[in-house]
Amino acid sequence: MGVSADRCIAVLGGSFDPVHNGHVALAGYFAKLLLPDELRVIPAGQPWQKQGLQTAPEHRAEMARRAFGQLAVPVVVDDREIRRTGATYTIDTLRELRQELGPDVSIAFLIGADQLQQLQTWKDWQALFEHAHLCAASRPGFRVDDAGMAPEVAREFARRAATPEQIRGTPKGLAYVASQLAIDISATQIRAALGNGADVASLIPAGVLDYIKQHHLYRN
């Protein structure tokens, strides 16, 4: 038998430019499924695959606090990637977290369908499993063995497929795909709508929308 985990930390990284209901639904879904002891939200500094973010890091961190604070799980907004200089790689963040939390904590790294479909392009993506579990949301009507996932990623997820109980109970190395989570919200579309003064109240948590208006963010 492998090591059994004494706690479970769910980790959600992202640009959060801005935070929207898709991010909150992803976190909320896995909070109910895994019953983690903590949700660690990590706003990206400068993600290497994205060109300049539109909003300053302190705004994105504060939007994350307002959005995820409503969930029924203790939430910590972790600013390590914002403080890091240079490109931000998930593998470095998970390595650091593992060193800090120790070998016996279950770390469940949460990703959306768009990230799942690009996973094979991430730096050292297979090594992510050496530090954490990967829990992904799929797109509506999208199966794990579908063409929506690179073949090597599909193989790895199939080989490591586990139940939520197994993920909560062991430190790392397993995979889970939630096919029931059908949300299709694009931050790019939201930024465009905000810039045009369109109504986005159905797409963004109310506290985040208040903050955006108060600080005049995303205006053209």
User: For position 16, which CATH number holds?
Assistant: 3.40.50.620
Is residue 203 included in any domain, yes or no?
A: no
pLDDT in tens, 134-170: 999 876 656 555 657 899 999 999 999 999 999 999 9
At residue 19, does pLDDT exceed 50?
yes
Cβ 121 vs Cβ 49: under 8 Å: yes
Is residue 97 included in any domain, yes or no?
A: yes
Is residue 165 included in any domain, yes or no?
A: yes
Domain that holds residue 37: 7-185
Is residue 212 included in any domain, yes or no?
A: no
How far, in Å, CA of 131 to CA of 78, rounded?
18
Structure tokens at 198: 């369109």
pLDDT in tens, 74-114: 999 999 998 887 777 899 999 999 999 999 999 999 998 88
Is residue 214 included in any domain, yes or no?
A: no
Cβ 187 vs Cβ 18: under 8 Å: yes
Is residue 142 included in any domain, yes or no?
A: yes
Is residue 168 included in any domain, yes or no?
A: yes
* Sheet with strand 38-43: strands edge to edge: 75-77, 38-43, 7-14, 105-111, 133-137, 175-178
pTM for this predicted structure: 0.91
How far, in Å, CA of 27 to CA of 41, rounded?
9
How far, in Å, CA of 150 to CA of 119, rounded?
8
Is residue 213 included in any domain, yes or no?
A: no
pLDDT of residue 1: 42
Total number of domains in the chain: 1
Neighbours of 124 (CB within 10 A): 13
